[in-house]
């Protein structure tokens, strides 16, 4: 996607989906298409971390929600950093946080409502991916909340994550 068209899409989405005056925090996340013999969709944890690594807000945990007897929870611990920082304190599933896994491609996840009450300060958006019979990767995008102006900080994954673009709107 070219820069111009992504700005156009961003503007269109901002105008279409975010009420006037509301701040925006949404994430464009690329789940890479991998040429492997046995592919499973990654488990993904997305959270807002304070500068001391503590969890300010759990945003999304995408895993095998529909397995019998909550069997899909068995691998939540493999998102080791998320598990350690606060995942292990949660009684999954959590409404508004738990979701089904997403496949290869670019997805846009809007967390504007979830971060609306976040105290002003410095944060990092954390994204951790772990894939069955695959690898694990964590990426962090620092940001300030509330954003003073529109910005699109990004991070590039190396294996289990593709490009991440954080969309911030004042």
Residues lying near another protein in the complex (CB under 8 A):
69-71, 73-77, 80-81, 83-84, 87-89
- Measured from the CB atom, the residue of 35 and 69 that comes closer to another protein is 69
Q: Which residues of 5-31 are buried (b: 16+ CB within 10 A; e: fewer)?
A: eeeeebeeeeeeebeeeeebbbbbbbb
User: Least distance in Å: CB of 6 to another protein?
Assistant: 33
46: alpha, beta or left? (left if phi > 0; alpha if psi -120 to 50): beta
Q: Between residues 13 and 90, which has the closer beta carbon with respect to another protein?
A: 90
What is the rounded CA–CA span in Å between residue 22 and residue 169?
8
Give the residue with the Cβ less far from another protein, 39 or 83: 83
Handedness of CA 31, 44, 61, 64 (dihedral sign): positive
* CB 89 to another protein: min, Å: 5
Cβ proximity to another protein, 150 vs 155, nearer residue: 155
Rounded least distance, CB 170 to another protein, Å: 33
């Amino acid at each position: 996607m070219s820069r111009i068209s992504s700005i156009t899409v961003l503007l269109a989405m901002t105008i279409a989906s975010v009420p006037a005056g509301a701040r925006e925090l949404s994430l464009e996340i690329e789940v890479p298409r991998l040429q492997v013999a046995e592919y499973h969709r990654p488990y993904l944890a997305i959270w807002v971390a304070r500068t001391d690594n503590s969890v300010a807000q759990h945003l999304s945990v995408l895993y095998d929600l529909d397995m019998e007897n909550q069997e899909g929870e068995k691998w939540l611990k493999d998102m080791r950093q998320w598990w350690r920082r606060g995942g292990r304190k949660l009684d999954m599933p959590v409404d508004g946080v738990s979701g089904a896994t997403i496949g290869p491609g670019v997805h846009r996840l809007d967390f504007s409502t979830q971060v609306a009450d976040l105290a002003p300060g410095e944060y990092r958006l954390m994204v951790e991916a772990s894939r069955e019979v695959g690898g694990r990767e964590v990426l962090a995008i620092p940001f300030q909340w509330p954003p003073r102006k529109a910005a699109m900080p990004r991070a590039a994954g190396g294996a289990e994550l593709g490009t991440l673009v954080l969309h911030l709107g004042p």
